[in-house]
Amino acid sequence: MSRIIVVTSGKGGVGKTTVTSNLGAALAKVNRKVALLDADFGLRNLDLLLGLEERVVYTALDVLAGDCRLAQALVKDKRLNGLVLLPAAQNRNKEAVSPDDMKKIATALAKGYDYIIVDCPAGIELGFRNAISAAKEALIVTTPEIAAVRDADRVIGLLEAEGIHKISLIVNRVKPKMVEDNKMMSVDDVLELLAVPLIGVIPDDERVIVATNKGEPLVIGDHDCLPANSFMNIAKRLEGEKVPFIDLMSENDNILSRLRRIFGG
């Protein structure tokens, strides 16, 4: 049975595409067959984050129009066996795709892949409805900011109204130092507000931005760092493993701050 999972948030710029690319790579690393479906027809960039943009020939729209077969449109990631991308068309009318179209594509992909992960656009309009149409599960990405959390709350309500009840939360761009200084919501604060189970916490880390710019998901390239491990852990939790959450606060607890505490500083 394949799992169709939408990565969504409401708010833009919180890390949906980053999560989709890293999670896809992470699941492929544990030998799963993964198809990433870019549902952001307005501002596609999953191909960029994966470094596959130059190999895009066809898009989901060409498949729907009957201009190519589904298999022809899939871009295989040469770094990881089992990872493919179905790109979105960039410069055509967003309205060209309907929820039924997306369902058709996702259902066809489900025959050959363990995971279909759908990268959702920002907002709650047609692009959102397209992205969630085939999904049986959702990963909500939020940052610990009030606007992102409110949008996430709204989206959770919409998903539930559509019958998607398997919803997990990823809190992205956590800055432990700011949380410690009471300048940023903690993960617990966010959880209390949203009341859906937590599946991942990702620190704010410039290596994520470097990886984005390189077109190489962190879990493929700089895979031995805290944010890469956070993505790997989400993949393992999706697979049903019980993986303890990394305590970002103690990672932040360097020798100096410990000494200061000991000496009352």
Ligand X SMILES: Nc1ncnc2c1ncn2[C@@H]1O[C@H](COP(=O)(O)OP(=O)(O)O)[C@@H](O)[C@H]1O
- Which parts of this chain interact with ligand X (CB under 6 A)? 9, 12-18, 122, 172-173, 202, 204-205, 208-209, 212, 227
Q: Which is nearer to Mg ion, 106 or 248 (CB)?
A: 106
Cβ–Cβ < 8 Å for 219, 49: no
d(CA 148, CA 211): 23
Alpha-carbon separation of residue 1 from 46, 111, 211, 252 (angstroms): 25, 9, 32, 40
Query: Does 17 contact Mg ion by CB under 5 A?
Result: yes
Strands (E), 156-236: 166-174, 198-203
Q: Which is nearer to ligand X, 110 or 220 (CB)?
A: 220
Q: Which residue has the tokens 């100096």?
A: 256
Q: How far is the CB of 69 from ligand X (least distance, A)?
A: 28
Q: How many residues bind Mg ion (CB under 5 A)?
A: 2
d(CA 189, CA 178): 14
Contacted entry of ligand X, Mg ion, none for residue 202, CB cut-off 5 to 8 Å set by kind:
ligand X
Q: Which is nearer to Mg ion, 8 or 186 (CB)?
A: 8
List of residues 6+ apart from 8 with CB closer than 8 A: 16, 120, 128, 131, 132, 138, 139, 140, 141, 155, 159
Contacted entry of Mg ion, ligand X, none for residue 221, CB cut-off 5 to 8 Å set by kind:
none
Q: Which is nearer to ligand X, 112 or 168 (CB)?
A: 168
Cβ–Cβ < 8 Å for 185, 152: no
Q: How far is the CB of 128 from Mg ion (least distance, A)?
A: 12
Single-letter code of the amino acid located at 228: A
Q: How far is the CB of 168 from ligand X (least distance, A)?
A: 16
Contacted entry of Mg ion, ligand X, none for residue 123, CB cut-off 5 to 8 Å set by kind:
none
Q: How far is the CB of 176 from Mg ion (least distance, A)?
A: 25
Q: Which is nearer to Mg ion, 35 or 179 (CB)?
A: 35
Contacted entry of Mg ion, ligand X, none for residue 208, CB cut-off 5 to 8 Å set by kind:
ligand X
Q: Which is nearer to ligand X, 108 or 126 (CB)?
A: 126
Alpha-carbon separation of residue 240 from 31, 38, 116, 141 (angstroms): 15, 25, 17, 19
Binding residues for Mg ion, rule: CB under 5 A, are 16-17
